[in-house]
Amino acid sequence: MSDHRNAPRIVIDLDLPGPVVSRHLYGHFAEHLGRCIYGGFWVGEDSSTPNLAGIRADVVEALRALRVPNLRWPGGCFADEYHWRDGIGPRSERPRMVNSHWGDVVEDNSFGTHEFMALCELLGADPYVNGNVGSGTVRELSEWIEYLTRADDSPMAALRRRNGRDQPWRVPFIGIGNEPWGCGGNMRAEAYADLARRYATYVRNHGENQVYRIAAGANADDYAWTEALMKALGCVSCGDTTAFEAVSLHYYTMSGTWADKGHATSFGQDDYYRTMAAATRIDELLTRHSTVMDRYDPGRRIGLVLDEWGTWWNVEDGTNPGFLYQQNTLRDALVASVHFDAFHRHADRLVMANIAQTVNVLQAMILTDPETGALVLTPTYHVFAMNTGHHDAASLAVHIVGAGTRQVAGGTLPLLSASATTRGDTALVSITNLDADAGCTTVLDLRGRGVTGHSATILTASAIQAHNTPDSPDQVRPQAFEGVRPHPRGLQLELPAHSYVTVELALEETDD
């Protein structure tokens, strides 16, 4: 047996649970963009594809396994062009519009408010409705929340009833515009902050429905934007939070630049490592935005919502450049796993996150074939599936000692990433070996509680470029992981190169 006394250690205090990892950190995003809604979620009632009142049954089934906690809709950039009244009433009578951001295609509004709420009900997901600030009105947004959530015979509740829905829906999350610094109106931070206060004033709580209002936040490292929003809140610690309950943040991962983002499947090791350096940067962004927020809100009452994240590659050859359709490899899966590690570490401030996007757009869970309709689960889907045990569990502090590093683009990339949560007499540990070539013997140094059993799952493939297609849907799929041995400090793992492993631990009961 080889000597692994110098193996990297992942040290976990199993008896010191920290902040709860909200299930909402595993949220999703569905925009009227390319084939996300049309062809992805929605095929219409007359389609030969099996559907539930127009919604693809196989997509619903696959997503139910992920326990999707919330779904953001209708955008993104589309949200600031969307007028909700165009998407209610008989479908044949709904006005059409041009989706000028995404492909300049005609949108027939056949998927609107009722269809979205039906989708959320099928998924068991909380709706996160993003309002139109860029080209809408305060009245429009105010009436939308009334239409959605009011029970009595108010004008909007009556209109909803005429459109076939008696009971109000529960809508816990409302976005006040999207990317106002860009596609949402090209505003300056202070101007938007004032608008956000104004719009949020008229997003009312109707009856039992309590709305969590999310102001549209910064792009990546624009800390000045976060500062302007926090200033606009007034004295948070005095309880003066009449404006909004959270600010958002958007951050996309790519190996290149916005002009040439890199290819989804044809990439080399340098691209891979640059991607991983970009992905792990999310930890710094969350830390620094939180630090800005702490200055105005030391009690952490205002939430940070990362409502767009994921990889963004050049579109697949031969597809509409405005549709943002891209393949998804093992590399994307590891981008997701290191994001989740960061999310777990920031559970005390980060209250929600939404991957962009769920089907057929950017870092999707599901790809559907436009010709045959065949459905493929991506490597990223499997990371979400392997992580459902983290939803609403308590985070555990994790310390990594002695892991290898690599110099990437002037910085140091740690090659091991890990996080852990606990619930009752169980714990779930996530470990990513980012090394493209080398396996890694690693010790799980488990302290504070006895471990009575374990089981482990691995997601890896022969190459970092491996991906799933309709002809070969299982190139990257989770499998039982046999590389776990007892170790005097806990467990020893033989992690293959470029792999993601989850270890579920059974713990001795405690009296606490």
Determine the residue type at 146.
E
Largest CA distance in the chain: 76
> Is the CB of residue 219 less than 8 Å from the CB of residue 179?
yes
Exactly one of 107, 115, 146, 179 is catalytic; which is it?
A: 179
Closer to ligand AHR by Cβ: residue 8 or 76: 76
Any residues with CB less than 8 A from the CB of 168 and at least 6 apart, and which? Answer: 148, 149, 150, 151, 157, 160, 206, 207, 209
Q: Which residues are at the interface with ligand AHR (CB under 6 A)?
A: 31, 75-77, 178-179, 308, 356-357, 362
CA dist., res. 161 & res. 164, Å (int)? 5
CA dihedral 316, 76, 389, 350 (to 10 degrees): 130
Closest distance of CB 101 from ligand AHR, Å: 7
Task: Assess whether 482 carries a catalytic annotation.
Answer: no
Task: Assess whether 508 carries a catalytic annotation.
Answer: no
CA dist., res. 147 & res. 69, Å (int)? 23
- ∠ CA 146-229-81 to the nearest 5 degrees? 50
Instruction: Quickly tell me which residue has 């459109």 as its tokens.
Output: 163
CA dist., res. 312 & res. 314, Å (int)? 7
CA dist., res. 506 & res. 189, Å (int)? 49
Spell out the alpha helix ranges (H) of 233-311.
269-296
Closest distance of CB 384 from ligand AHR, Å: 17
Q: Under DSSP, is residue 417 helix (H, G, I), strand (E, B) or coil?
A: strand
Cβ contacts of 264-268, under 8 Å, gap ≥ 24: 264/311, 264/313, 264/314, 264/316, 264/326, 264/327, 264/328, 264/329, 264/332, 264/467, 265/327, 265/329, 265/465, 265/467, 266/465, 267/331, 267/464, 267/465
Give the pairing of strands 499-507 and 440-447. unpaired
| Chain position whose Cβ is nearest to ligand AHR | 76
Closer to ligand AHR by Cβ: residue 184 or 490: 184
Known catalytic residues are 179, 308
